[in-house]
Structures are given as structure tokens and as C-alpha cells.
Structure 1
Amino acid sequence: MEKLNSIIFYNIDKAIRAYRNYAQRQLKAHGFTITIDQWLIIKAILENPGITQNEIGDLVFKDNASVTRIIDLMVKSEYVTRHVHPDDRRKTNLEVTDSGKKVIREVQNIVEQNREVALNGITKDELEVMYSALLTISENCLNPKK
């Protein structure tokens, strides 16, 4: 029977979880209360004006209930505002506030430092191979040929 440590997907998940935990600890250590998930959602809204909550969930790999809960917290923290869509009352428009934009700018250096620490000792060529392999895995799972 194969060992967990020999399964590539176990190791990918382990690496992602280790990075997220490390990144969250670094944000907290620097006095920020924003979470990694909140950061991801704010970035998604900033990069995709008019994005819906469903689309955000797909983009950041979260279910609708989680996205709603995170957005509720961000509205309370005044990082995001919610407005009823003018043409469809079932939808809401999300807008990042000035304080949301400010916190994204302020944590950018920490985010870059976190990546630098996580990728320490990995060559550019290794990164390119890893990136390509991960894209292929995603494509194989999204559009299986069998």
C-alpha cells in the first residue's frame, strides 16, 4: 500500500496548507486582521469589476456559503460595500472601499515576502516546470479526455 507522502496530490495540498498557515501568521504578526481568504476575495473584486459572488467562489475555490460569510465580515470591517444590482434585485454589486484598497496596498510587501520565503531554493526552471505541470493537472481534471 502506498504511503501518503508518496502521493503527489497529498503533497500539493500539504504545501498549500503550509503556505496559507505561514502567510496568515505573517499577516497577524505584522498587526493585520485581514485573512488570506479576505485578501483573495478583495483581489478578485479589484481585478474583476462586476464579478458576482458565484464567480468569486469559483475563482477562489470557495462554496457560496463561505463566500457570503467572508463578504459579510468584510462589509462589517468596511473593506467592501454591497449594493443591490440595478437590473436584478437577486444580485449584488460588490465594491472595494478605500480602506479595503489601503489594506491590500499595505499587505503587498508581506505577501511578496511570504512568496519569497516559500519559494526559497527553487530555481526559475523548476518553477516553470511546476507551473506547467499544475496547469496540465487542472486542465486534465476540468476537461477529462477519458
Structure 2
Amino acid sequence: MEKLDSIIFYNIDKAIRAYRNYAQRQLKANGFTITIDQWLIIKAILENPGITQNEIGDLVFKDNASVTRIIELLVKSEYITRTPNPDDRRKTNLEVTKSGKEIIQKVQNLVEDNRKIALEDVSAEELEIMNSALLKISKNCLNTKK
């Protein structure tokens, strides 16, 4: 029987969780009250004007309830605004505020430092191979009809 640490998907998940935990600890240690998920959602809104909550969920791998809860917190923290869509009452328009843009900028340097530390001793060639393999795995899983 194979051991957990020999299963590629276990190791991918373990690496992602280790990185997220590390990144969250770094945010807290540097005085930020924002979470990784909140940062991701602000970035998603900034990079995709007019994005819907469902689209945000797909982009950041969160269910609708989680996205709604995070957006509520971001509105309360005044990092984003939410206004009714005049063309469709079922939708809301999300916009990043000035303080939301500022927090993204402040956290960006820390995020880049976190990545450097996480990728220490990983060569450019290894990164390229890993990225290519992960993209193939995603494609295989998304395109299967089984």
C-alpha cells in the first residue's frame, strides 16, 4: 500500500495548506487584519471590473456562502462597496475603495516576500516543469466526461 507522502495530490494539498498558513501568519505578524481570502477577493474585484459573486467564487475556489460572508466583512471594513445593479436587481456592483486599494498595495510586498521564501531552493526549471504539470492536471480533470 502506498504511503501518503508518496501521493502527488496529497503533497500538492499539503504544500498549499502550508503556504496559506505561513502567509496568514506573516500577515498577522506584520500587523495586517486582512485574511488571505479577503486579499484574494479584493484582487479579483480589482482585476475584473464588473465581476459577479459567482464568478469570484469560481476564481478563488470558494463557495457562494463563503464569498458572501467575506464580501460582508470587506464592506464592513470599508475595503469594498456594494451597490445594487440598476439593470438587474438580483445582482450587485462591487467596487474596491481607496482604502481597499491601499491595503492591496501594502500587502503586495509581503505576498512577494512570502513567495520568495516558499520557493527558496526551487529552480526556475523546476518551477516551469511543476507549473506545466499542474496545468495539465487541471486540464485533464476539467475536460473529463467520466
- Matching residue of 1:128: 128
Aligned length: 146
Distance 1:50 1:109 in 2: 26
Unmatched segments (≥5 aa) in structure 1? none
**Matches of residues 112-127 of structure 1 in structure 2 within 5 Å?**
112-127=112-127
Report the Cα offset of residue 3 of structure 1: 1.2
The answer for the alignment partner of 2:19 in structure 1 is 19
Structure 2 unpaired stretches of 5+: none
Give distance in 2, aligned partners of 1:145 and 1:33: 42
TM normalised by structure 1 equals 0.98
What's the offset of the Cα at 1:2?
A: 1.4
Residue identity over aligned pairs, in percent, reads: 81
CA RMSD of aligned residues (A): 0.8
Q: Say whether 1:109 aligns with 2:109.
A: yes
Structure 1: 4+ residue segments shifted above 4 A:
none
State the distance in 2 between where 1:89 and 1:77 align.
24
Partners in 2 of 1:20 and 1:80 — Cα distance?
Answer: 23
Residues 1-146 of structure 1: pairs in structure 2 closer than 5 A: 1-144=1-144
* Secondary structure of residue in 1 paired with 2:81: strand
Post-superposition CA distance 1:20-76 (Å, at most 9, x none): 000000010000000000000000000000000000000000000000000000000
The amino acid of 1:76's aligned partner reads: K
